Structure 1
């Protein structure tokens, strides 16, 4: 139920805004990678402005995700070390428990 509310209250208006943005920015816009010779056709791409905007959004999402993942490596390492230590302690406890168990015979 909460998922449906989030979709209706957040994603539907966001989709409407993005669609309106795409419709309003349909004109072809040149994008050049050569700032000194902006008329160079080899380094100039002409697409609608909303394509550039959406591409910037996607690239920003990927860069932000990568930076977040990279900054959390310390916490993942600590969690992995603690998990390995817990497994080692459990194995030692099982071994100790089996050594103390009475044997039939």
Structure 2
């Protein structure tokens, strides 16, 4: 419930700011990608200003997320290798306990279920 309240307290004001910004900046602006001919650019795009700003923000968030994900790859690999090694050691311990129980003739207890 607290999480829902926090989401509403963050998302609603953010949505209001985005709507107000979009309404205030809906006039078209021209973006030129031609540095040599400013009067009649060969590569130009005319869009509302709010689309340019919000699109740039969205692209920045996506690029930043991809960069963070790529930079954390070595930690994900280490975690994966550690999980695999822990599973191998658990299997060895279970095998050793089974062999010991078989050798002593004592009744075996059922193996514990482990979560992955």
TM-score scaled by structure 2? 0.80
Task: Determine if the alignment matches structure 1 residue 67 to structure 2 residue 56.
Answer: no
Counterparts of 1:13 and 1:99, CA distance in 2: 64
Query: For 2:37 and 2:88, how far apart are their aligned partners in 1?
Result: 64
Residue 40 of structure 1: aligned partner: 41
1:2 and 2:5 matched: no
Q: Which has the higher contact order (CA 8 A, sep 6+)?
A: 1
Deviations 1:57-105 (A, max 9, x none): 110110110111112112111111110110110111122122112259x
Deviating runs (4+, > 4 A) in structure 1? none
Provide, for residues 14-63 of structure 1, a one-character-per-residue CA deviation record: whole Å limited to 9, x for no partner.
1000000000101111112222223224x111010000011011101101
Q: How much is the aligned-residue C-alpha RMSD, in angstroms?
A: 1.6
- Aligned residue for 1:45, secondary structure, equals strand
Count, aligned residues: 103
Q: Secondary structure at the match of 1:47?
A: strand
Q: What aligned pairs does 1:8-87 form with structure 2 within 5 A after superposition?
A: 8-38=8-38, 39-41=40-42, 43-87=43-87
1:5 Cα deviation from its structure 2 partner: 1.5
Name the TM-score, length of structure 1 as normaliser.
0.88
Moved more, 49-58 or 70-79: 70-79
Structure ranking higher in helix proportion: 1
Q: Counterparts of 2:84 and 2:37 in 1: how far apart (Å)?
A: 58
